[in-house]
Amino acid sequence: MFETLETEVTGRVASIKINRPKQLNALNTQVMEEVLAAASGFAASPDIGCLILKSGERAFAAGADIRELAVQDHASMRASNFFSGWDQFAALRIPKIAAVRGYALGGGCELAMMCDVILASENARFGQPELKIGCIPGIGGTQRLTRLVGRACAMDMILTGRMVGAEEALRIGLVSRVIADDQLEAVAHEVAATIAGYPGDIVQMARDCVNMAENSTLDSGIRHERQTYHALYGLPAQREGMAAFLEKRAPNFNGA
């Protein structure tokens, strides 16, 4: 079905793996369109509760495809609103996990940052080296990286173009866990299955509240969280979850 991707479904977890090994999974328009199509399909399915973006052997994605970019000019970039499909991917409300092995550079780092959780293998390398080719990040890198790691670290990475290893990425807040290379996919599936096991509507509420923190003042963010918290009372999942706690049993969210 897809020329640049491999997809798989295990239980309530779907996975997408970019498959352009000769190009180190460089992101071109076809990849963008196919990732968006696959992810949108999974997001629309009530049987899927979490999505994993998997890494190749050597790279998660080593950047945008320069061969495609080098022939563009201002008019063509503006007319096509180049990269806008990635905005649609980022906006999908399905929880997304990036399981990063090897290089996640430029657009690859930006793609990982569109996900809710970034899990890194010990050999993962992150960077925004666009200045080295006379460019700047264009898929949200200047914005998401600054929000994740702060102005000082973002300026350092973007203005020097240097790569950071997995342990430094963990220390500065770019990733949430560093995992042994041979355990990365297993842990990613375990995390995804945990998330997928919770009620989808409650997971989306939690995601929305966390994302609100990046785009609002503290007061308005807390107000949004409180309103959302009040609104979930009376939902089947809330009633089942609290009843199960009081009755000292595991909740049955599937029947809620």
Q: Which residues are tagged catalytic?
A: 64, 107, 110, 130
38 closest CA partner among 23, 26, 51:
51
Edge-to-edge strand list for the sheet holding 117-121: 5-10, 13-18, 50-54, 96-100, 117-121, 177-179
Tell me which H or E stretch contains 9.
Answer: strand 5-10
Which residue's structure tokens are 């190749």? 56
Which residue's structure tokens are 């905005």? 87
Helices then strands, each counted (H, E), the chain: 12, 10
Which residue's structure tokens are 């690859």? 108
Among left, alpha and beta (phi > 0; psi -120 to 50; other), residue 102 is left
Distant-in-sequence contacts of 78-86, Cβ < 8 A, 24+ apart: 82/138, 83/32, 83/138, 83/139, 85/29, 85/32, 85/33, 85/36, 86/32, 86/36, 86/110, 86/111, 86/114, 86/139, 86/140
11: its two tokens:
């239980």
| CA 120/CA 123 separation, integer angstroms | 8
